[in-house]
Each structure stands twice: as structure tokens, then as C-alpha cells.
A and B are shown apart, each in its own frame.
Chain A
Amino acid sequence: MAEMLEIRWHGRGGQGAKTAALLLAEAAAAVGKYVQAFPEYGPERMGAPVVSYNRISDKPITIHSAVQFPRFVAVLDPSFIGAIDFTAGIPKSGVLLINSSDSSNVIRQRMQLRCDTIKVYTLDASQISQATIGRPIPNTPMLGAMVAATGIMGIEELLLDTRNRLEKKFRGRPELIEGNMVAITQAYEEVQRQ
């Protein structure tokens, strides 16, 4: 990975946009990358739009200003389509990952996305999450999708790191840990398919 990757996550409060950024950073750090993860703060309540960011690099990251031109943008809430411009700053080589049951062509139309070079991946992260973890919180599958899209690490490394982390949190609830593993894998494979 020659360049520094910059990533932006969009979600609503409670969907885990902030946590997704933190989890990605922790996973990348565990495989020896230099990382940053930070949220943008505004009025804090369930349902309010939340934006968070990552920087990931093979070299130490010293910059501390806002991410202006993220190459990868993840959208955790499909209601943002047509409502907010989450493509701000994205370069022509950019990649969008959208939590939606629609196909990427339909999304492109709904967004009126003119730029053909921007890649659009879609996956129904909420549904994956509901089926595997029992709650429609899309951030874990979206994490798998982001790793597939950015290629910062292999799926096995991500699964191992996530398992280590969740084992502390969900001690005594192995079904949640396994559910997360399946969610991540499904999302990862879905992006790889597209």
C-alpha cells in the first residue's frame, strides 16, 4: 500500500459509524499499519447524522486535520441516498460502499451519480446483521466490506482480530461472536463478488 488511505463513514447515531472506524483502526494496527480513527462531533443523539474517519498507512501518520478527500466512503444508512451528499471530496478513483438492498446500478440512478469511474458496491448489511447477529446494526458487515474494498488486510487477519476483541466483550455469548464472524465474512465475500 503505497499511499495513505483515507476513509469516511456516514451513519446515524446508534448505527455504529464511530465504532466502525475504531474497529477498522484497531484491526489495521494489529497487522502493523499506522492508523487514525476519529469521529466528527455535532449534536449527539440517536438518529442524528454521524460522520467518522480513518487514515491507514504503512508509514507513520502525523497529519491531524480533517479528511477532505476520502477515497473510500461507506454509507451505513440507505436513507442518506438523495438526502445528503456523501460524495463530497471523493476523487474520480473513489469507492462507495452502501448499505442497501438495491443493486449498485439502481443506487447510481437514485444518486444521479454521473462519474463512471467511481466504483459503487452495495450490500444489505442491515439484513446480514439481522440474520447473523439478530440486530440490524450494519457496522460489522460494513467493516468486512471495507476491508475487502481497501485490501488493507486479508479476511483471516480481520476475523482473528475481531474475534480477539469480541471475546473480551461478549464473554459467555459465543453466538454473538460467531454471528459477527459470519456477518463479516458474508459482507467481505459480497464485495469481492462485485
Chain B
Amino acid sequence: MAMALEAQKTTALTGNEAAATALRQIEPDVVAAYPITPQTEIVQLFSTFVSDGLVKTEFAAVESEHSAMSATIGAAAAGARAMTATSSNGLAFMWEMLYIAAGLRIPIVMPVVNRALSAPINIHCDHSDTMGARDAGWIQIYSENAQEMYDNLIQAVRIAEHPEVLLPIMVTIDGFIISHGMENVELLQDQVVRDFVGEYHFPYPLLDIEHPKTIGPLTLQDFYFEHKREQAEAMQRSKAVITVIADDFARLSGRQYGFVECYKMKGAKYALVVLGSTAGTAKYVVDELRQEGEQCGLVKIRVFRPFPGPELCKALADIKAVGIMDRSDSFSTQGGPVFAETKAALYQASNQPKCVNYIYGLGGRDIEPSLIRQAFMEVKDLATSNAVGGGIRHLGVRE
């Protein structure tokens, strides 16, 4: 099916505004809402769309994030397209329900504005919230900026609801940095988004009384394992679907998405791997370094779940040393989650670059170009010397 590039509206929006706009155009049947900084504006803006009659969504203001996810699951299982949004401890509060949503195979799409988990209390950006939920069985897509948030949310609806997938998806943006930062955003027309996401079809809607069913029963030692095995297979199948939907979206918007984004990796001997808004700052540094004759590049991970192991190995196939950046720590003493999973993928690769972990930006600590440049130079040293990799460095912390 050939789709013409659609006319888009150029505007300036904050990340939260871009997310709320995507939600308005998707027009879910139900939005369950509970506030938490820095996500609140998404559901708050959406509530104004509801009260202004721009959408017919049933807006349920609930008493906690646990309730928000419970309500979303219930609505989606009933046969409604349902969404909610959260951050940080809000995501943590709905932790058990995340696993339940994935286990029940409910296709929910949820914006998560990345914010550090307490304690200590911190309202600023890091990835500890969504990284902490990486085993829940949700697909996780990290956005670099407001445009990506908008684009990713629209694609996520199709990915989640695809009959080969039926898994919930969290789409992230960095708290305050992107959520409250205004940037240029190109918006698709309402009808284009409506046509792209289509009608919601859940295979087991509870409100289909012609086919009575039970959702959420008990299984014992005899069947639980098989259900989880199938769930793992769905996550595996989602890779092909993510690609198909990205290609469909590219035909509409002119913007092509993948699992990773390689930035100036051609001819690069050393690189950094990074997620989120820091990728943008790192691109700025790569540009400067390349102008100075350095052979460096950047690999940005967009899809963290399913983890793009083969794609990363391919991107790093000619790299001698790589700095893997984590905006969270899993306190394993073996580095952060991105470090651990990237190394695991590289364990089977034919090219195994030396690796070093950079834990940075926790609690919203600014990651400025000079720090990224420092990381690049250290990785370059690693690439060109006999030094052994594997270290864990905390970039930007006061010693």
C-alpha cells in the first residue's frame, strides 16, 4: 500500500504537550489519571480536551497509580482502548499491575515521564523508574525529544494491539528536560492519526457477552510456565511488528524509526551507547569531534524492550571501544542495566569491543557537552591503548 507523505503542521510544543496532543488524536475510549510531577501536565491537558469536548474519552480520575493501572487494565479488558500516564514512584506504585497487564496480554500504551525514584526524593530526570520495570514484560520505547514522543505514542498503539503482539508498551521522555522543554514538533493531521491507529480490537473483550469468558484466573504449577513461555514468544514476535509499523509510519511522516539509531558511526573506531535526551547532546559533541578529525560515533537505543541485541552487535561491529551510558544504577556492583544487557548481547558477537560503563545524570544532574567529550576521550584511549575495559565510572559526580 503506497501512502503519500502527509502534510504536517509545524509547531513548538513541550514534551508533555506533544504527548497530550498524540493522546488527543488517538482519542482512547478511557483515560485513567493520577497526577505526579513531571507527568501531570499530560493527563491535565488531556482533561481539558475532554472538558472542551475535543474528545469523547471517558476520563476517570482515580485515587492512586495502582488504581490508574487497574482501571486501565479493566477498561482495556472490557473492550475499550485505554491509557494512563505516570512517572517515578507512580510507576513503582503500580508495579504489580504492570506484570499483570503484560501477563494478561492487555495492549495498553502508557507515556512515562522519566523521573528518579525516591529515596532521596527527587523530581528530576533519570531512568531508574522505567529501568526498574524492565522485567515486567512491557515493551519499552525511549524518546530522545518531543517529536519522538509524539511519533512513538502513535506507533505504539498499533504495535501493542497487533494480534501477533498484544503486549502493553511504555513510551518515555526525560522528565523536565523534554517534558517541560519546548521544541519544534511536526504534527500529523487528526484524521491521518485516526486512520493510522484504526479501531481497537481486543480478542477477548469482557463486554462481549455472546462469548462469556474469565480473565485473570489462577493457574498452578501445571500451566503457569507455559503461559510465560508464550509471553516470551510474543515479546520476540514484537520485533518484526515494530519494524513493520515503523515502515508504515515512515511512509506517512517521512521519519523512519528503528531499534537503534546510528549517528556518524561510519568509519568510527570508538563510540558511546546512550538512551533518551542525552543522545541529542551527544550528537552535538560527535559533530564537534568529527570536525576535529576524531573517528567517533554514537549509538542511540530507542527500543529497550525487546532488547536490540543483534542490532547493537551490528552497530558496534567495527568498534574497538565503547562507553555505555546508564542514567540509572541497578546496584548490582556490575554496572547499570544498559551496560549489563549490552555486554550480554556482545558476549556472543564476533566483534567484542572493550566496554566501559558511564553512570551519569542521576537525579537530574546535568550532563553537559564537556562531560560527554571527556567520556569520548577516555573511550578513545581505551580503543588505542592496551588498557583493559570493564570499569564503572560515575560521570559528573563530585568525588
Contact = CB atoms under 8 A, between A and B. Distances in A.
The answer to whether A and B touch in the complex, with CB atoms under 8 Å apart, is yes
Contact of B176 (A25, A28, A41): A41
Given A64-B280, A65-B281, A37 B182 contact: yes
Interface residues of B, number: 26
B284 A25 contact: no
B148 to A, nearest CB: 12
A121 B380 CA distance: 46
A39 interface: yes
Interface in A5-29: 21-22, 25-26, 28-29
Contact of A63 (B176, B178, B184, B369): B369
A22 B177 contact: no
Nearest to A34: B184
A41 B41 CA distance: 15
B253 to A, nearest CB: 16
B12 A26 contact: yes
Interface in A38-76: 38-39, 41, 60-66, 68
Contacts of A29: 10-12, 184
A36 B182 contact: yes
B184 A39 contact: no
Contacts of A61: 183
B181 A62 contact: no
Interface in A126-152: none
A183 interface: no
Contacts of A21: 182
Contact of A62 (B174, B182, B280): B280
Interface centre among B181, B182, B369 (most CB of A within 10 A): B182
Given A22-B182, A25-B182, A62-B280, A38 B177 contact: yes
Interface in B111-145: 123-124, 145
A26 B280 contact: no
Contact of A37 (B181, B277, B281, B368): B181
A65 B181 contact: no
A35 interface: yes
Contacts of A38: 176-177, 180-182
Interface of B: 10-12, 123-124, 145, 174, 176-178, 180-184, 277-281, 283-284, 366-369
24 contacts: A21-B182, A25-B182, A26-B12, A29-B10, A29-B12, A35-B182, A35-B183, A37-B12, A38-B176, A38-B177, A38-B180, A39-B180, A41-B176, A41-B180, A60-B184, A61-B183, A62-B279, A63-B284, A64-B145, A64-B280, A65-B281, A65-B366, A66-B366, A66-B368
